Structure 1
Amino acid sequence: MPKVLISDKMSPLAEQTFKEAGVEVDYKPGMTKEELAAVIGEYDGLAIRSSTKVTPTILAAAKNLKVIGRAGIGVDNVDVPAATNAGVVVMNTPFGNSITTAEHAIALMLALAREIPQANASTHAGKWEKSGFMGVELTGKTLGLIGAGNIGSIVADRAQGLKMKVVAFDPFLSAERAADLGVAKVELDELFKRADFITLHTPLTDQTRGIIGKASFEKMKKGVRIINCARGGLIDEEALKDALDSGKVAGAALDVFAVEPAEANALFNHPKVICTPHLGASTTEAQVNVALQVAEQMAEYLMTGGVTNALNMPSVSAEDAPKLKPYMALAGQIGSFAGQLTEHGLKKITVEYEGHVAELNTKPLTAAVLQGLLSPLMSSVNMVNAPVIAKERNIDVTETKHDREGDYQTLIKLTVETEHQTRTVSGTLFANGAPRIVEVNGVRMEAELAPNMLYVINNDKPGFIGALGTLLGHNGVNIATFALGRRVEGEEAVCLVAVDQPIKDIVLDQLTALAHVRQAKKLSF
């Protein structure tokens, strides 16, 4: 009988669900990291919320652990790469607390508009400062939505019920999806210019970290109000404090902070700031939903091998897994490659399968492509929810199979259409099962993807490769592999360079400034 440990406070229904499925379960919330490390080796599964930290040390002691289930969306407290290396599946419950978090954002916006917490404290103190709390109406105001996914779209709906106008910035928001939501799709600077209130509903990634900072505040209306129930690192807290002190920002309501638990923060006790201790998912309904979902998912995996909402493992049947495994890696790399280069709203995705791969069950492969494509700007994207996310955003996904064989015995080709351009990426498997990129935007090449890479589009001119190598060498960046291709002599060329360490932004700026460079981006796989 599999054995699961629940190490954080969770609805009793989770324990009951495990037992009904035939899984032995221990409920021990509040353990120290030393206590957890001492006992984790006994368990096949670990069910957690946000308190338990699953570190490499814990994973090293977890000799029998097969699955970690996070009751909630964020897995910041789990070292997912370390879990993957240890062969442990990491699951989450991405949709269990969406309504709760959206409602909390609306509640904070109302409290911010009418200064309710400050007025409450003043009245309890017997001051009766009626003239001291002059609020603003939400009706007719413009709400700027940064992130229009599952939670953001619910916030938009609720805000429209309050007769607010809604503008939204989201790189993956199509014009059609924006129309369905009844929001105006805008660029970020335009949102800053127009919004009376700004609320954030985007994951914390390298692209979104500090998305609101000093430069952002300079573009905003005087008297703007900001709400954040997503992730603390999205806002530069020192810059926000300066903007509040100057009067540029009339108020802020924050449920999340850069460092949590937030026992000290520059914004604490600021008269224009409302703070709550990460309560976005803290309702009875949400706690029950995520507890039930994580127990059901973990029990299914432990008892039957079924995988649902896994962050580091494809959701495929046990029969198909051995045949699909190498193709999953290829599909994920192709999707990730295109996703890291996508900067505008997606309209259409076409995945073509040719040769041997066309004979397989390609639905999981298309899901793997979508997962790779959407992951760079979204957290918690997996093979189960990636197709749902694409559908919600009116991204047209087409899958085509060709029985013919071309230059390769097997080929996967991805075509991505955005509002501004069309990009293609093709890949194949070599004899040893290793994935290779063999075409980018019609340019033929052969490249093995590595953890750290450079993607460069340049004019095909003499001396460019030497200049690129020299610049990297001067910055102490060692080249591991170099792949180059072009369509026509003297015109556009594409190169993929694998390097031994991450490229710093200052080096990327120098690369972009090189003669003949049209575009330079750093990629990671």
Structure 2
Amino acid sequence: MAPKVLVSDKLSETAVQIFRDRGIEVDFRPELGKDKDKLAEVIGSYDGLAIRSATKVTEKLLENAPNLKVVGRAGIGVDNVDRVAASKKGVIVMNTPFGNMITTAEHAIAMMFAVARQIPEASASTHAGKWEKSKFMGVELTSKTLGVIGAGNIGGIVCDRARGLKMKVIAYDPFLSEEKADQMGVEKVELDTLLKRADFITLHVPLTDSTRNILSRDALEQTKKGVRIINCARGGLIDEEALAELIKSGHVAGAALDVFAVEPATDNPLFGLPNVVCTPHLGASTTEAQENVALQVAEQMSDYLLTGAVQNALNMPSVTAEEAKTMGPWIKLADHLGAFIGQMTDEPIQEINILYDGIAAEMNLDALNCAAVAGILKASNPDVNMVSAPVIAKDRGMKIATTNQAQAGVFEGYIKIIVRTDARERSIAGTVFSDGKPRFIQIKGINIDAEIGEHMIYTTNEDVPGIIGTLGHTMGKHGINIANFTLGRKESKGEAIALLYVDDAVPANVLEELSGTGLFQQVKPLQFTLG
């Protein structure tokens, strides 16, 4: 059955056609974005929801969307999506951070020119029939120092354009390495250095707890006299009251803002001040950008719904289409290993340690971690998936650690999960064979080679005669066919295990009969999702 997507905001017809061309059923109903009650009525039948800014994806809406798998935002900002609620419901939230990068960067450069040459005021004066040529004395950009706060995707483009204008570019970004800074042709500095040296300061960071009010009153007072400030990133990064006062005092020569702490901004302390250029959040407002983000979100959502590829997700590791193909068996293995642990563990898990060996260690470990943790948690909550698993594990206080190592052993690669509770430690390892099928290769330190089936029985016992016969006889007596039978032991007469892959679920009375023989310390039915 084809996936079904609802477009509840205004996306281009070309973007809607992408869904159709990919074989996805799509309903284009942009009027629903502003009708939350009607949207809640219909959302239950959709696998995907494509939006812009009008649609509000709230916890209440998500409660009415049992089939929803992905929300795609055509644009960068996702303030209109409750990401925590979406994660708990296992819904991927995607945005399109690259579709409007150039447009936003160009707007920042345009705003810098505008405030450097007082273009809006000069234009208004000339339109009014005045000829105040001497009043609008600007400054050149050439040879001036531009301080870029945030040198990521958009900030990086601004750096490149500014260097083309022969500006000296310095950048503050905790995630910018010296090597990357050298490649970009910028000087990496600390924030206090940037504030003291920059003739122009432009912001290109998201609004987070660490960046909120990054240009505080104290920071603004540290700036060079005559500085000009540009913000086309997010409102809330600047103390607007303090900036207004410093403009009035003459310390700050001008500012250009496309974003404000409160939007729509109909009243602001910066409005009406000399050499303050204001635009109504136009950073992404070009024909090309609006089309690009719409096309991009349609492609991303289609890829996920059809192939499992995850791009630009905000609540799950990204997995490319190529990774989805090559990693598919390993993601399934991680899920099976976790499912074994989850079904075997009744008490609360405190720690999950995941070891990746050989070729497994070279894969997308974040995605594999999500699959393993999801497998563990499904035993107690079947609705858990790779999106919701990390959130639920955190809520339960589970500590998750990852180790990767070069190939150590006969297998090209393997995954091992060790969990700890108050009572015990439990471990299992597995690999993927050349046939693409996951296998269990070790349980409790005992080496095995077990094919994984939908229905299995796990037993522990002392290594004594009669185990195989008892298992085979009991299954046969009750008409249960054994597809695969695996044994393992640590040493002769020591601890031993058995894994039976059977065609059908084993009834409780058969399990009780096996336990009643006195040969087994543990008899546990297991179930795995193979599809």
Fold-level similarity (TM above 0.5): yes
Whether the 8 Å contact between 2:361 and 2:405 is mirrored in structure 1 is no
2:251 paired residue number: 248
TM-score, length-normalised on structure 2?
Answer: 0.64
Amino acid in structure 1 at the alignment position of 2:231: N
- Cα shift at 1:430: 3.5
- Aligned to 2:221, the other structure's residue is in SS state helix
Amino acid in structure 2 at the alignment position of 1:311: L
- Aligned to 2:72, the other structure's residue is in SS state strand
Q: Label 1:102 to 1:434 Cα distance change in 2 as closer, same or farther (>3 A).
A: farther
- Cα shift at 1:159: 0.6
Give the Cα separation in 1 of the matches to 2:63 and 2:154.
35
Give the Cα separation in 1 of the matches to 2:256 and 2:100.
20
2:64 paired residue number: 61
Whether the 8 Å contact between 1:354 and 1:403 is mirrored in structure 2 is no
Give the Cα separation in 2 of the matches to 1:80 and 1:429.
28
Once the two structures are superposed, what CA deviation does each residue of 1:249-302 show, in whole Å capped at 9, x if it has no partner? 111111111122223322223233211111111112222221111111111222
1:29 aligns with 2:39: no
- Cα shift at 1:400: 4.3
Whether the 8 Å contact between 2:44 and 2:66 is mirrored in structure 1 is yes
1:476 paired residue number: none
Q: Label 1:404 to 1:144 Cα distance change in 2 as closer, same or farther (>3 A).
A: same
Q: Label 1:302 to 1:137 Cα distance change in 2 as closer, same or farther (>3 A).
A: same
Give identity over the alignment, percent.
64
User: How many residues are treated as equivalent by the alignment?
Assistant: 367
Matches within 5 A, 1:381-460: 400-403=405-408, 429-430=419-420
Spell out structure 1 runs of 4+ moving beyond 4 A.
325-328, 353-359, 366-369, 409-412, 431-435
1:123 aligns with 2:119: no
- Cα shift at 1:244: 1.3
- Cα shift at 1:201: 0.8
Q: Label 1:268 to 1:220 Cα distance change in 2 as closer, same or farther (>3 A).
A: same
Give the Cα separation in 2 of the matches to 1:38 and 1:21.
26
Whether the 8 Å contact between 1:355 and 1:403 is mirrored in structure 2 is no
Matches within 5 A, 1:177-196: 177-196=180-199
Give the Cα separation in 1 of the matches to 2:356 and 2:30.
50
Once the two structures are superposed, what CA deviation does each residue of 1:197-233 show, in whole Å capped at 9, x if it has no partner? 0000111111111100110111111111000111111
Whether the 8 Å contact between 1:56 and 1:79 is mirrored in structure 2 is yes
Give the Cα separation in 1 of the matches to 2:111 and 2:336.
47
1:209 paired residue number: 212
- Aligned to 2:126, the other structure's residue is in SS state helix
Amino acid in structure 2 at the alignment position of 1:401: A
1:9 paired residue number: 10
Q: Label 1:356 to 1:8 Cα distance change in 2 as closer, same or farther (>3 A).
A: closer
Give the Cα separation in 1 of the matches to 2:336 and 2:281.
40
Q: Which moved more, 1:77-86 or 1:357-366?
A: 357-366
2:364 paired residue number: 364
Amino acid in structure 2 at the alignment position of 1:365: L
- Aligned to 2:27, the other structure's residue is in SS state strand
1:260 aligns with 2:263: yes
Q: Label 1:314 to 1:267 Cα distance change in 2 as closer, same or farther (>3 A).
A: same
Q: Label 1:222 to 1:54 Cα distance change in 2 as closer, same or farther (>3 A).
A: same
Q: Label 1:297 to 1:136 Cα distance change in 2 as closer, same or farther (>3 A).
A: same
Give the Cα separation in 1 of the matches to 2:359 and 2:133.
73
Whether the 8 Å contact between 1:354 and 1:402 is mirrored in structure 2 is no
1:166 aligns with 2:169: yes
Amino acid in structure 2 at the alignment position of 1:28: R
Q: Which moved more, 1:188-197 or 1:202-211?
A: 202-211
- Aligned to 1:145, the other structure's residue is in SS state strand
Give the Cα separation in 2 of the matches to 1:433 and 1:290.
48
2:330 paired residue number: 320
Once the two structures are superposed, what CA deviation does each residue of 1:93-146 show, in whole Å capped at 9, x if it has no partner? 221111111111000000010111111111112222222211111111100010
Amino acid in structure 2 at the alignment position of 1:213: S
Q: Label 1:204 to 1:50 Cα distance change in 2 as closer, same or farther (>3 A).
A: same
Give the Cα separation in 2 of the matches to 1:434 and 1:259.
52
- Aligned to 2:202, the other structure's residue is in SS state strand
1:91 paired residue number: 94
Q: Label 1:19 to 1:274 Cα distance change in 2 as closer, same or farther (>3 A).
A: same
2:226 paired residue number: 223
Q: Which moved more, 1:180-189 or 1:302-311?
A: 302-311
Give the Cα separation in 1 of the matches to 2:357 and 2:335.
12
Give the Cα separation in 2 of the matches to 1:326 and 1:109.
55
Give the Cα separation in 1 of the matches to 2:368 and 2:161.
33
Amino acid in structure 2 at the alignment position of 1:403: A
Which of these residues, 120, 133, 136, is aligned with residue 133 of structure 1?
Answer: 136
- Cα shift at 1:41: 2.2
Give the Cα separation in 2 of the matches to 1:154 and 1:20.
33
Q: Label 1:320 to 1:165 Cα distance change in 2 as closer, same or farther (>3 A).
A: same
2:312 paired residue number: 309
Give the Cα separation in 2 of the matches to 1:96 and 1:148.
17
Q: Which moved more, 1:224-233 or 1:46-55?
A: 46-55
- Aligned to 1:190, the other structure's residue is in SS state helix
Once the two structures are superposed, what CA deviation does each residue of 1:469-524 show, in whole Å capped at 9, x if it has no partner? xxxxxxxxxxxxxxxxxxxxxxxxxxxxxxxxxxxxxxxxxxxxxxxxxxxxxxxx
Between Structure 1 and Structure 2, whose CA radius of gyration is higher? 2
Whether the 8 Å contact between 1:11 and 1:291 is mirrored in structure 2 is yes
Once the two structures are superposed, what CA deviation does each residue of 1:372-431 show, in whole Å capped at 9, x if it has no partner? xxxxxxxxxx9xxxxxxxxxxxxxxx97425279xxx9789xxxxxxxxxxxxxxx6447
1:460 paired residue number: none
Please list every run of 5 or more consecutive structure 1 residues that lacks an aligned counterpart in the other structure: 329-352, 370-381, 383-397, 413-427, 436-525
Amino acid in structure 1 at the alignment position of 2:259: V
Whether the 8 Å contact between 1:4 and 1:24 is mirrored in structure 2 is yes
Whether the 8 Å contact between 1:43 and 1:62 is mirrored in structure 2 is yes
Give the Cα separation in 2 of the matches to 1:93 and 1:300.
14
Give the Cα separation in 1 of the matches to 2:121 and 2:426.
61
Which of these residues, 72, 75, 100, is aligned with residue 72 of structure 1?
Answer: 75
Once the two structures are superposed, what CA deviation does each residue of 1:65-100 show, in whole Å capped at 9, x if it has no partner? 111001122222211110011121111222111111
Give the Cα separation in 1 of the matches to 2:117 and 2:368.
46
Q: Which moved more, 1:353-362 or 1:16-25?
A: 353-362
